[in-house]
Structure 1
Amino acid sequence: MDPELKIFFPLLLFGNIENLILAAQGVEAHVDPLGLAILSLIAVLCWLLIGTFGTRFAMKYARVINFIGGLAIFILGVQAMMEAIPGMIAFFH
């Protein structure tokens, strides 16, 4: 792996974990799996294009990008957990 790109590895790792959380939320909300899969693939394709063509420009902002991305992942994770708590409490009663 290119040493310049290694600084983005934690964001990639935790972003994939967040994708699993969002997919679980979609299943619980009874979203159409095919529609969710298509939208997910479109989002991945968009990020691939942005990453491919925007990497050189973004390198000087790598620390800011990592912070904002990590903060977004953290906030979405907390939101997912908070939304799941009522269902967990109801399950145990």
Structure 2
Amino acid sequence: MLDDVKPFLILLVFGNIENLILAAQGVAAHVNPLGLAILSLIAASSWLLLGTFGTKAALKYARYINFIGGLAIFVLGLQAMIESVPGILAFFH
């Protein structure tokens, strides 16, 4: 089982870090924490089911999936940093 997931391990680790960043953005935007938690659990459960049942079919596309997933994580992280700049600048004034 671990050998099946091995090509996607880096994507899983950085994807989870990105989920923490997105959750922090939700808190900073004063989103309802209960609603955010419910939506996060639904999204995580959906990805777990998709990953569990789709891994064998996705193995032949692992290189493409890792690239696209890594690019998405990079773009979302960049967006999070850019959106936080005004708040950081306001802190120093």
Q: When the two structures are superposed, what TM-score results if normalisation uses the length of structure 1? A: 0.96
SS in 2 for 1:3: helix
Residue aligned with 2:31, SS: coil
**What is the root-mean-square deviation in Å for CA atoms of aligned residues?**
0.9
Q: Secondary structure at the match of 1:4?
A: helix
After superposition, give the CA deviation of every residue in 1:39-87 in whole Å (9 maximum; x if it has no partner). Answer: 0000011101111111110000000000000000000000000000000
- How big is the shift at 1:16? 0.7
Counterpart for residue 36 of structure 2: 36
Structure 1 counterpart of 2:55, one-letter code: T
Deviation at 1:4, TM superposition (A): 3.3
Q: Which runs of 4+ in 1 moved over 3 A?
A: none
Deviation at 1:5, TM superposition (A): 1.7
Aligned-residue sequence identity (percent) comes to: 73
- Which residue does the alignment assign to 1:57? 57
Gaps of 5+ in 2: none
Distance 1:68 1:11 in 2: 10
Q: What pairs with 1:64-79 in structure 2 (closer than 5 Å)?
A: 64-79=64-79
Question: Which residue is 1:23 aligned to?
Answer: 23
- Tell me, in whole angstroms, the C-alpha distance in 2 between the residues paired with 1:7 and 1:59: 8
